[in-house]
Amino acid sequence: MKNNLFKCAILCIAILGMASCKQAKKTEEAPKPVIIAYVGGYNGLVDVNKISPDKITHINYAFVDVKDGKAFLTNEATDTTNFRKLNELKQKNPDLKILISIGGWTWSRNFSDAVLTSEGQKAFAKSAVEIMKNNNLDGVDIDWEYPAIPGDKGNVYRPEDKQNYTLMFEAIRAELDVLGNETGKKYLLTTAVGGFQKFIDNTEMAKAQQYLDYVNIMTYDYHPEKQAVHHTNLYASGKYELKQSADIAVKAYIAAGVPAEKLVMGIAFYGRAYTLKKSSSKGIGDPVVEQIRGAGYTYIKDSLVNKNENYRYWDETARAPYLFNFYKGLFLTYDDEESVKEKCQYVLENKMAGVMFWEYSSDPKEYLLNEINKNLK
């Protein structure tokens, strides 16, 4: 009897041990997906009352300029006020991280010159971390569009950018680590990258990723000038020949040596619109006359979808919506709740870090942010 009781006790301990191991393992599993919001400070003062800190994990403040080889606040009074107000959001979400995002489409002109030498790389790194430190922020995001290839008109680029891109991150990481040793805090270093192969070919992503916490893939703005296509599709469409998509980009970055758990998928909170040639009958894949002003998703959903002959269509292969007005020859490509759900599921299935979106104010009613939270939280 005693022997049986002893065996029973041992069995119970073993079962409890296994349960506790399983619980520990569950706790150690991949962290919750990140939800990174780009917030446009270039528009002036940010209305933080229109930001829901409980629905996001990070804010990337766009943008900080590059001038005379250093990170530079173009409107210091406005920017520092925005930093202070954004930091107040931590009262509602203490885990919220706020980063400065340097560059962007317009302000990438001087990256190449700034980080051309090792001295330049160190000076640039110090200036970026100084802005972050002085405003009590949590990290630095680099949005260089683009290393070694043309971006906006007038941008400086050179072949050496390929290696200097990596060395820039090494220098910033070193500065962040020095500060971290002083404060006992872990600071983040992230980057926004082009969602196309040419960006990968002109960088050393396998090396660069060693210094990075997240690699935010801009899986949007896929649009040739002369054809109406999806600008932010999850998969390649079968309705036209151009093969660009989020899936292709993610697989390319993994193949280039970036771990899936560092990759962040981009979601567009805005649409791109075009007028098409009069002979257009399908919308998708038809020839373009010109690109016209697009719109943010709140406006698209409330004022355009299935209204005034702007009919919504769904591309089953691409897992992406589009609007086509046959009578006016108008075409609009965008993300909606259905495509966002598909992207979130893809992120989870492929064990990616999470999602990011451009840009918060484009969807003030938070239709898409609510869908992200529904699927990722």
> Catalytic pick from 29, 88, 130, 145?
145
**How many CB atoms sit inside 10 A of residue 350's CB?**
15
Residues in Cβ contact with 50 at an 8 Å cutoff, skipping those fewer than 6 apart: 360, 361, 364
Residues in Cβ contact with 323 at an 8 Å cutoff, skipping those fewer than 6 apart: 271, 283, 300, 304, 305, 310, 311, 312, 313, 330, 331, 332, 334
145 is catalytic: yes
Dihedral pair phi/psi, residue 314, rounded to 5°: -125, 125
Contact predicate 228/315, CB 8 Å:
no
Closest CA to 118 of 163, 68, 148, 176: 163
| Residue 70 in tokens | 């250093």
Q: How far apart are CA 357 and CA 246, in angstroms?
A: 13
Enzyme catalytic residues: 145
